[in-house]
Amino acid sequence: MIARIRRNARGNRNRAVANAIGDDCAILRFSGGAEILLTTDFSIEGTHFRREWHAPDSAGHRCLARGLSDIAAMGGEPAAAFLSLAMPADLPQKWADGFISGLLRLAKKHKVELAGGDISVAPLICADIVVVGHAPRGSAISRSGAKPGHSIYVTGELGQAAAVLASLRADKKISPRSAPGRRHFYPEPRVEVGQHLRRHKLASAMIDISDGLSTDLSHICQESGVAALIAEHSIPRPSGWEAGSSSLHFALHGGDDYELLFTAPSSAEIPRKIAGVTITPIGQITDGKRGEIFLTDSHGQRKKLTPGGWQVF
Amino acid sequence: MIARIRRNARGNRNRAVANAIGDDCAILRFSGGAEILLTTDFSIEGTHFRREWHAPDSAGHRCLARGLSDIAAMGGEPAAAFLSLAMPADLPQKWADGFISGLLRLAKKHKVELAGGDISVAPLICADIVVVGHAPRGSAISRSGAKPGHSIYVTGELGQAAAVLASLRADKKISPRSAPGRRHFYPEPRVEVGQHLRRHKLASAMIDISDGLSTDLSHICQESGVAALIAEHSIPRPSGWEAGSSSLHFALHGGDDYELLFTAPSSAEIPRKIAGVTITPIGQITDGKRGEIFLTDSHGQRKKLTPGGWQVF
């Protein structure tokens, strides 16, 4: 299995990787002025994907997308990925091959080298992805720099991935290659947008929306020691699909969008599009109680927004 | 859970870690001349440990020891660890706390900071440990530098961990704090020995014995394109314990010892002890068929040794 992955991974090279699969450790080399960014994310059968819903290449794509999105949220340049993959002994080889191929396709797009990992046996499929990236020293965008008065922005549209998930739960068929389907099955981490914001020093704080806007905005507010006020009408939602009246709920609390959520001082000139992706202002950072979020609804009423996204324990 | 780990991990700091738990990525800083070493290893319930055999702090210790041992095998200095931990929703908090505390105790000993990871839910305990270390550029010891004529060495004694495992399988009680028990339940990765060999440029190739001598020596031979001849009588085995006649089998094929296996040219003066650990010569690298290992038995008979250690698929 390892020899097979090693062979298939040969097409994806990154010059930060000095030696890869085949030794006790991978060796990575970065230039002296670089900071190294490292993130790890589980993709566990039943928790993060289901074999009956997700084709193996979608599960592999989503697995790597989770890690790439964390690198994007710091404004980093991804370089290497490490896949730890545990599988049932009777899992068809075809499934594992499809998973790796979906992961490698996305890796290639972002010039990321699969540089190691671990293979093991478990009664269910359990993958842990490590993505290593870099950024010039002191330039990575943390969650803790938001200040009262800063504007809040999101990339793209929110809620589509969660709406698709809800349809899957309701036994509706969604084509993975349709426009809505792609947002759930093959999400695009906003790596270029993150790097643009970092290079031009535009963002004061940033996070990726993996757990839902309400939860991830509360993370920024917690780490920055601030509060936030967002406007319901300004939250970009997909139009023309069957999400209907629940689309606001999905946009506020739905996970798996992998859009970026960032703050910027009013002096920063934020473009309407970055790397082809629409950027939308949705509210303001305030000096309220740490971590608290308020939402102005369509009637102009202000109400408290409780984080309702994905949270473990 | 994450806040809890963050709190408990505060005692262990490493200056390579610029920010840790609480952002999308950890930020690591190394000096310009450093190469970064990275390794990932699973510890899965049922595959790598059992709740009825391993106290939670032993499972946590063994989880980190696996990663530290890989850093040791390259001669690296460990700096940061990342723990991805999936658990059943009904796992007692006490178990998780014990696991983390066993892991952190070993981390502290090696000045390793727990700098991030992921927490998730799964029907069984599934941990993936990432350890990041460093070494001056070009100095890390790979598996591929062994040449015909080089001597083969091992640290410590082999087979004890496997003998304990065999006893556990036979429903025998082994005290985890007894001398034999410790080798299985609380193995000591040979981090100092590895660094000594790297600093003094003594080893031409190195690997840690996690899968068994026969398997790990064949990895060195495969990666170096050489063969090996080892002598049965020279393999250091624990004395005075009940391993008996199967002790050779455990020493040749038993995993989990986490001793180091290395090669060195005859010009290298290898001390008999490094950092208090005995170093024993066990044979020679030869120019035979790539990856092939021969064993000279107690009657002076030479026979082929087939890798019989732990192998996935």
Q: Does the CB of B30 have a partner CB in chain A at under 8 Å?
A: yes
Indicate yes or no: CB of A40 within 8 angstroms of CB of B313.
no
Q: Is A31 on the interface with B (CB under 8 A)?
A: yes
Boundary residue ending a domain (B78, B102, B136): B136
Q: Average pLDDT, stretch B218-222?
A: 96
If asked whether residues A61 and A207 sit together in one domain, one would say no
Does A247 have pLDDT greater than 90? no
Mean of pLDDT values over A173-183: 91
- In a domain, residue A312? The reply is no
pLDDT score recorded for residue B312 = 42
A156 and A296 fall within a common domain: yes
Chain B nearest CA to A266, separation (Å): 24
B296 touches chain A (CB under 8 A): no
CA distance A189 to chain B (A): 13
A286 and A228 share a domain?
A: yes
User: What pLDDT was estimated at residue A313?
Assistant: 34
Of A22, A32, A120, the CB nearest to B44: A120
Q: Are residues A77 and A124 in the same domain?
A: yes
Is A23–B74 a contact, with Cβ atoms under 8 angstroms apart? yes
In a domain, A58, yes or no: yes
Asked if residue A219 and residue A91 are part of one domain, the reply reads no
For A213, B4, B97, B211, B307, the CA distances from A313, given in Å and listed in that order, are 18, 12, 14, 35, 43
Q: Is residue B142 one of the residues assigned to a domain?
A: no
Q: How far apart are CA B97 and CA B228, in angstroms?
A: 45
Domain check: are B46 and B115 in the same one?
A: yes
Residues of chain A in contact with residue B86, where contact means CB-CB under 8 angstroms, are 42, 44, 47, 126
- What CATH number is given to the structural domain containing A31? 3.30.1330.10
Q: For residue A110, what pLDDT is reported?
A: 97
Counted domains in chain A: 2
Q: Residue A13: pLDDT band by 50, 70, 90 thresholds?
A: confident
Same domain, B49 and B159: no
Sequence-distant (≥ 6) Cβ neighbours of residue A79 within 8 angstroms: A14, A16, A17, A28, A30, A112, A113, A132, A133, A134
**Average pLDDT of span B42-52:** 94
Chain B touched by A84 (CB under 8 Å): yes
- Angle of the A56-72 helix axis to the A93-109 helix axis, nearest 10: 30
For A199-239, what is each residue's pLDDT tens digit? 999 999 999 999 999 999 999 999 999 999 999 999 999 87
pLDDT of residue A245: 64
Chain B residues whose beta carbon lies within 8 Å of the beta carbon of residue A35: 18, 27-29
Phi, psi of A109, rounded to the nearest 5 degrees:
-55, -35
Contact flag B38-A122 (C-beta cutoff 8 Å): no
pLDDT over 60 at B157, yes or no: yes
Last residue of a domain, one of B136, B167, B190: B136
Q: How far is B252 from chain A (nearest CA, A)?
A: 20
Instruction: Report the distance separating Cα B37 and Cα B139, nearest Å.
Output: 11
- Final residue before a domain boundary, out of B105, B136, B167: B136
Examine residue A311 and state whether it is found in any structural domain, yes or no: no
pLDDT for res B313? 34
The reply to whether B140 touches chain A by the CB within 8 Å rule is: yes
pLDDT value, residue A151: 98
> ipTM above 0.85?
yes
- B93 part of contact set with chain A, CB < 8 Å: no
| pLDDT value for B245 | 63
B224 interface with A at CB cutoff 8 Å: no
Share of chain A above pLDDT 90, in %: 77
Please say whether the beta carbons of A124 and B122 come within 8 A: yes
In chain B, residues with a C-beta closer than 8 Å to the C-beta of A126 are 44, 86, 122, 126
pLDDT of residue B244: 59
Residues of A in contact with B223 (CB under 8 A): 22-23
- Output A131 or B300, whichever has higher pLDDT: A131
Contact at CB, B119 and A44, closer than 8 angstroms: no
**What confidence tier does A4 reach under pLDDT thresholds 50, 70, 90?**
confident
Q: Residue B239: what pLDDT?
A: 75
A117 touches chain B (CB under 8 A): yes
pLDDT tens by residue, B71-92: 999 999 999 999 999 999 999 9
Testing the interface with A: which of B25, B144, B198 to mutate, by most A Cβ within 10 A?
Answer: B25
- Predicted confidence at residue A242, as pLDDT, reads 58
Report the gap between the CA of B49 and the closest CA in chain A (Å): 12
Give tens-digit pLDDT for B235-267.
Answer: 999 876 655 567 889 999 998 899 999 999 999
**pLDDT, tens digit, 9 for 90 and up, residues A116-128:** 989 999 999 999 9
**pLDDT-derived band of residue A253, with 50, 70 and 90 as boundaries?**
very high
Among B118, B137, B142, beta carbon nearest to A41: B118
* Confidence bin at A20 (pLDDT 50/70/90): low
B115, B208, B313: residue with CB nearest A24: B208
The predicted model gives B282-301 an average pLDDT of 95
pLDDT band per the 50, 70, 90 thresholds, residue A3: confident
- Mean pLDDT, rounded, of chain A: 92
Question: Are B123 and A46 in contact (CB < 8 Å)?
Answer: yes
Which pLDDT does position B310 carry in this prediction?
55
* Helix residue ranges, H only, chain A: 2-8, 56-72, 93-109, 160-169, 179-185, 191-199, 213-224, 247-253
Alpha carbon of A242: minimum distance to chain B alpha carbons (Å)? 31
Mean pLDDT, rounded, for B112-129: 94
Q: Which domain holds residue A13?
A: 2-136
* Domain match, A107 and A167 both: no
Q: Is B118 on the interface with A (CB under 8 A)?
A: yes
Q: Are B286 and B159 in the same domain?
A: yes
- Kindly tell me if the per-residue pLDDT of A192 is higher than 60: yes
Distance CA B308, CA A59 (A): 34
Q: Per the domain annotation, does B141 fall within a domain?
A: no
Mean pLDDT of A61-70: 97
Residue A37 placed within a domain: yes
Q: What is the pLDDT of residue B13?
A: 83
CA angle B305, B311, B313 (to 5 degrees): 125
Asked whether residue A61 falls in the same domain as residue A90, the answer is yes
**Is B130 within 8 Å of A39 when comparing Cβ atoms?**
no
Cα radius of gyration rounded to whole Å, chain A: 20
Q: State yes or no: pLDDT of A172 exceeds 70.
A: yes
Q: What is the mean pLDDT of chain B?
A: 92
Q: How confident is the model at residue A18 (pLDDT cuts 50, 70, 90)?
A: confident
Is the residue at A182 inside a domain?
Answer: yes
CB pairs under 8 A between A and B: 194
Note the Cα A44 to chain centre separation in Å.
16
pLDDT at A310: 54
Residue A275 covered by a domain: yes
Is some CB atom of chain B closer than 8 A to the CB atom of A68?
A: no
pLDDT of residue B262: 98
Check whether residue B158 and residue B98 sit in a common domain. no
Q: What is the pLDDT of residues A256-303, one digit of tens each?
A: 899 999 999 999 999 999 999 999 999 999 999 999 999 999 898 999
Residues B155 and B300 placed together within one structural domain of the fold: yes
* CATH number assigned to the domain comprising residue A272: 3.90.650.10
pLDDT band, residue B7 (cuts 50/70/90) = confident
Instruction: Please spell the DSSP secondary structure of A252-300, one letter per residue.
Output: HH-----EEEEEE-TTS---SEETTEEEEEEEEEESSSTT-EEEE-TTS
CA distances to A144, A191, B18, B95, B106 from B165, rounded to whole Å, are 48, 47, 40, 22, 21
